[in-house]
A and B are shown apart, each in its own frame.
Chain A
Amino acid sequence: MSRSSAIEVVNVSKNFGDYTALDHVDFKIFQNEFFTLLGPSGCGKTTLLRMIAGFETPSSGTLLLNGQEIAQMPAHKRRVNTVFQNYALFPHMTLSQNIAFGLKNLGWDKARITARVGQMLEMVHMEQFAQRKPDQLSGGQRQRIALARALAAEPEVLLLDEPLSALDLKLRQAMRDELRALQRDTGITFVFVTHDQEEALDMSDRIAVMGKGRVQQIGSPKEIYEDPTNRFVADFIGDTNFLEGEVILLDGAKATIRTALGAEITTTHQGLTGPGPATMSIRPEKIGVGDQAEGVVLTGTVRARNYMGGFTHYTVQIGEQTLRLSRRNAHSHQDSLEIGAAVQVGFRESDARVLGQ
């Protein structure tokens, strides 16, 4: 793919004292992309975002914005805008004045600013609130104004630091769709920070999974869910069963692993260089039970059951090993499996993944 990149993070490290918050981070964000930085708390997402905004400077490495080096450029000269986590709306200004703030600083003339502010208010459906102050708004409304303010000057890149985390569940879902639509309509590159994997999978074109100050994997939501390149990613994204085992044969992209399940499983691997200890990962929804057991079929005993509405989670013991699996409740009077019952479970070899340490 030869898309041009909006942002290039070139081998960036950041130290706070002797703590390394970012450790040789290196990747590109393409033009018009909805790009998400996803990772657990403290992994350096905010630090990286603040660096792109201009509030932090890298300890080493550099940053390019549309090919231009910006690592030392002051924040107010970068054509990049931020939606802050707590919105950071100016409390002493009306919503219109908040939105006009950046445009005024860019030296736009009055008529153009007025027109643009009206357009932005319309875009976020807040026209009737133009003269209010931020403290007279609900969380969701503030969020919209923060978006309007940040998008008003049509930045080259929009940065969003966990913008949905302060909203309640229902609103969050609605705002996800709105944000996604906004990104498509404006064509502006969005860099979105979250530690909510569902949010990331739902909204992003590509996701960078971060952990321990490093980028662990970059790919489409499907890639990072279905083909995690290491144990950290497989563990952090979604739910999975890890089975420790021994790789006995390595043949190109395929590895054959022997685990406590007994059966030998041959499937794609990531990051193995030779036979030896490795981990197999199989996601709960990819394991069938009863008449849906196919592929590698094993016999076990139901140990636990959790009814979740759309799904029921079961824990099944097979020899020494337990497997968690989830069964879709496709019909309202579907029989559930009893605890203690003997069941057959099975999964396709191709759904399992072998991961290096």
Chain B
Amino acid sequence: MSKAFRFWGLVPAWALMILTLIVPILIVAGVSVAERGAYGGFNWAFDLSSYRQILYTVGWTDELEFDPKYVLIIGRTLLFAGGATLISLLLALPVAYYISQQSSRLKTILLYLVTLPFWVSMIVRVYAWLIILGNDGLLERIYRIFGGADISGFLFTPGAMITGMVYSYIPLMILPVYASVEKIDPALIEASHDLYGGRWTALKRVILPLAAPGLTAGSILVFVPCLGTVLEPMLLGGGKQLMMGTLIQTQFGGARNWPFGAAIAMVLLILVVLTLLLNARRAGRQMEATL
């Protein structure tokens, strides 16, 4: 391959990257340090007040007062996304392991089933949970059939939001976990039993360490979209439990504060990049340790 071809051959890829990734990020970054327009939108004037607004409110006499409102939202976002990731991980591991133990025909079918939810629009899937969790919904009816008291209020709770997030993103956990679990030589598990280890030992000292790459990849694939998710907090959380995704959405929408929305979006972006960097460093250390 000639040098020129290698250069020009990559131009479409670079163009796509620049147009769809770099430029939009630069625009958002620009808007985040712009001045808020009087009737929505923004004026090109350098102004850091949007970032200041994340931590402070301006009091009666123009003094800055610390306001934890948005820090709480960021904290909640991290907490819920982390929770959803952890639950996905705990659920995905046995599922992935179970699939890996099946005949190759059944494996293919089961993996298709895992990805099945992706064939349906995200909004429809989240609405389905509204029906399940809602007032007089499926869950409440089942609860009553088994003699439970008349209860309601599954919906619009953190539990409902996390349930929805786990449901939406768990295939992204199962697939990489499956890929790494499937590669584990069954003889290694037999060897751990042979060497006086029970099931728990096999899981803790053989399966988990060997599945670690898949667990990490899956965790990132779930955690990152959960950080920015909009539908679950809006529909299942009823807007009562704001998360960063919903906050950004309302700033660009109803609140008409584009610079503030952009600033929150930049914070979200930084959180995502931090997650990836932390993981890259950990993976690097692991590589070093094996050498």
Contact = CB atoms under 8 A, between A and B. Distances in A.
B196 A102 contact: yes
A101 B187 contact: no
Contact of B205 (A53, A80, A101, A106): A101
Nearest to A101: B195
B187 A84 contact: yes
A155 B229 CA distance: 56
Interface in B175-195: 185, 187-188, 190-195
B269 interface: no
A116 to B, nearest CB: 13
B191 A90 contact: yes
B3 to A, nearest CB: 37
A229 interface: no
B201 A105 contact: yes
B193 A149 contact: no
Contact of B190 (A75, A92, A133): A75
B104 interface: no
Interface string A190-227: 00000000000000000000000000000000000000
Contact of B195 (A55, A92, A105, A133): A105
B193 A74 contact: yes
B188 to A, nearest CB: 5
B212 to A, nearest CB: 8
Contacts of B188: 88, 90-91
Nearest to B205: A101
B187 A81 contact: no
Interface in A77-104: 77, 80-82, 84, 86, 88-92, 101-102
For the residues of B in contact with A, the DSSP-based class is: helix
A54 interface: yes
A51 B278 CA distance: 47
Contact of A76 (B185, B198, B206, B209): B198
Contacts of B192: 90, 101
A150 B196 CA distance: 11
A354 B190 CA distance: 45
A19 to B, nearest CB: 17
A106 B190 CA distance: 16
B195 A81 contact: yes
A84 B209 CA distance: 21
B103 interface: no
A82 B191 CA distance: 8
B209 A102 contact: no
Contacts of A133: 290
Nearest to B286: A92
B210 A92 contact: yes
B205 to A, nearest CB: 7
A76 B193 CA distance: 5
A153 interface: yes
Interface in A31-56: 53-55
A86 B187 contact: yes
B205 A75 contact: no
B75 interface: no
Contacts of A150: 194
Interface string B198-219: 1001000110011000000000
A53 to B, nearest CB: 6
A84 B192 CA distance: 12
B197 interface: yes
B193 A88 contact: no
B274 to A, nearest CB: 27
Nearest to B191: A88
Contacts of B187: 84, 86, 88
Contact of B193 (A54, A89, A91): A54
Nearest to B184: A91
A88 B209 CA distance: 15
Contacts of B197: 76, 101-102, 105
A248 to B, nearest CB: 55
Nearest to B208: A92
Contacts of A153: 195-196
Contacts of A75: 190, 193-194
B190 to A, nearest CB: 6
Given A101-B205, A133-B290, A106 B191 contact: no
B196 A88 contact: no
A227 B286 CA distance: 59
A105 B206 contact: no
Nearest to B202: A76
21 contacts: A54-B193, A54-B194, A75-B190, A76-B193, A76-B194, A76-B195, A76-B201, A82-B191, A84-B187, A88-B185, A88-B191, A90-B206, A102-B194, A102-B196, A102-B197, A105-B195, A105-B196, A105-B201, A150-B194, A153-B195, A153-B196
A-B pairs, 4 with minimum CB distance: A102-B195, A105-B196, A88-B187, A88-B191
Interface of A: 53-55, 74-77, 80-82, 84, 86, 88-92, 101-102, 105-106, 133, 149-150, 153
